[in-house]
Amino acid sequence: MLFLSLICLIPALVYAQMDAITQLPIGTRLDLCANQIATCINSCGSAANAPMKFCNATTLGWGCGCLTNTPPVEPWNWPVASRDCTLNLQSCTNECNSQPSPTSECFNKCTSVWQCNTVNAPVSYLQVSDVSQTPSYAAPNITYAGNIPGTNTPAKSSTASDSATHALFCFIIVVIAISA
């Protein structure tokens, strides 16, 4: 029965996006926000050409908008999005390490899902339209390429129902394991 439990445990460890980024020390968050805003200004050509440039050091919600161009930074390479992914990778591997018997499968899954600074990174949901808006932090598991994280399989539009189906499957497995 332990094997069946791991089937349910590994996806939860790997795909659970956390708001670990908001747990960084405030000085680190302020530096990250300064880097985010500087990247926006540089991408727009000047501060005057970047009327929407903000980063909330409390929520890490950020936004960038240029007057004359679209910022040439890939979405996964923005400083806040990149750090968010890196922290989620770190959280995932920490969870693998906290298991009684860490498996290479768990660590491999973390690195295949959290392919930071690439088109295959899971989407960061920290970009918002207003500095006072709180980001969603986690949403459907999809990469910037439109795939299910850790695969080359295109994501369905019903990722939420897939998660619910997986949770129900895991619940049934736990009930069967307990009653056995």
| pLDDT tens digit sequence for 108-159 | 999 999 999 999 999 999 999 999 999 988 766 888 999 888 888 898 765 4
The predicted structure's pLDDT at residue 1: 32
Q: What is the DSSP letter of 36?
A: H
Contact of 180 with 172, CB cutoff 8 Å: no
Taking alpha carbons only, the member of 162, 85, 75 closest to residue 93 is: 85
Range with lowest mean pLDDT among 42-46, 56-60, 73-77, 171-175? 171-175
Q: Is the predicted pLDDT of residue 178 greater than 60, yes or no?
A: no
- pTM here is 0.75
φ and ψ of 85, to 5 deg = -65, -45
Contact of 35 with 81, CB cutoff 8 Å: no
Helix, strand and coil content of the chain, in percent to the nearest 5, comes to: 50, 5, 40
Taking alpha carbons only, the member of 180, 176, 141 closest to residue 8 is: 176
